[in-house]
Structure 1
């Protein structure tokens, strides 16, 4: 406030020096007294306050806007924590070691089969769905059946190429979409990716399914992945809310 008064004084003195006066400019106190009425002081101070008002208003509006965002984020975090709290990720499933990838839409699982093969799985979070009819008493409308993309790499520990299966993990079953060879040292820009799995001989399709099932890649794994991704989805959402809230608080 003292700075405001000093600024008002400067405004008055400046104004007096440019206005006609019947007193000598040498006598500063006489000039000052000429403009020291209550009304002129109030007008000078009000003018300065008015000049600074847009900045103060913008700052206040911005603060209220950010406070509203923070309030909504706080409520969302509180709701998720109370009604849909995530739990600790599973670190194993049958013969597989589970490796979460925080902040990413993927997770990884690894296993060794018969001490001769390395198996690596990479699964997405939910990346699609299909509509299915409802069952039970309420048959109106449709339900959603969520989809997870799954890559299964199987390589010999002795080296060489690897097999890669592209699969769809549904809530209750696993489907093979494609199978191709991964060459570790191939320089081909567009290698042949093999035929659509459904176009293969039915007996070959069945044997390849059995090949994966023997290595633990089966319908049971698909059920596990859906439970895992439901939990991961909640964890990633909570972390996202927290990061946005932290940014707004700075």
Structure 2
């Protein structure tokens, strides 16, 4: 009896000198209790949460049946397409010639304009969606880059700005050039020919609109699925 009491006192003194020992023992005891205890009963969802879950599941099912998205494209002509999951942009790249690297970042739909509807109903309007593009053309690491800001419409691509960027050597307030539409018509035409030779043209605008329509549906379904998972937890 005395020896048992003495061992207990020694253990108590050890815990006082070494708090970590007490923490470790306590943590182990708690872990063992969780391991061997009966699993907790599942929480009962409130009618409000259950209704949200039901509505979200129904909407996901409807969207998948109404216009199911397809696997995103990874190639377009000479471009490689980089899908950026969960983001509002897509990146496409290609090499041109021996030294040029072309990198394009396109947004998801960021604007629209209303145009008169064709056909018998002349009073109707259609929505024409818009994408923004940044086209960077470089010729080696550390060299200057030519950058185009473009608008991509469902059937055509328009250039808005042209910059010559000096990476790491830009002035505090550089002169970035005139509005592209203020340039001489022949100069504008030559820039469009320059881009067309590199595959940056109306055909690319059509592809990007189709790609973004599909991406918009994919991201919508992912978003609703994440919402459903959160409410279910």
Q: What is the TM-score normalised by the length of structure 1?
A: 0.74
Displacement of 1:187: 4.8
Whether contact under 8 Å (2:72, 2:214) holds in the other structure is yes
Q: Which moved more, 1:179-188 or 1:95-104?
A: 179-188
Aligned counterpart, 1:195: 178
What is the CA–CA distance in structure 2 between the aligned matches of 1:71 and 1:198, rounded to whole Å?
52
Whether contact under 8 Å (2:142, 2:167) holds in the other structure is no
1:1-250 to 2 correspondence within 5 Å?
A: 63-157=46-140, 159-250=142-233
Whether contact under 8 Å (1:116, 1:158) holds in the other structure is no
Give the CA RMSD over aligned residues. Answer: 1.5
Whether contact under 8 Å (1:162, 1:182) holds in the other structure is yes
Alignment length, in residue pairs? 191
What is the CA–CA distance in structure 2 between the aligned matches of 1:115 and 1:87, rounded to whole Å?
35
Report the secondary structure of 1:157's partner residue. Answer: coil
Deviation sequence 1:71-125 (CA, Å, 0-9, x none): 1100110001111100000000001000011100000000000121000000000
Whether contact under 8 Å (2:148, 2:160) holds in the other structure is yes
Displacement of 1:158: 6.0
Aligned counterpart, 2:5: none
Runs of 4+ in 1 over 4 A off after TM superposition: none
What is the CA–CA distance in structure 2 between the aligned matches of 1:96 and 1:104, rounded to whole Å?
20
Whether contact under 8 Å (1:127, 1:148) holds in the other structure is yes
Specify the structure having the higher radius of gyration (Cα). 1
What is the CA–CA distance in structure 2 between the aligned matches of 1:118 and 1:187, rounded to whole Å?
21
1:156–1:103 Cα change, 3 Å: same
* Unpaired runs of at least 5, structure 1: 1-58
* Unpaired runs of at least 5, structure 2: 1-42
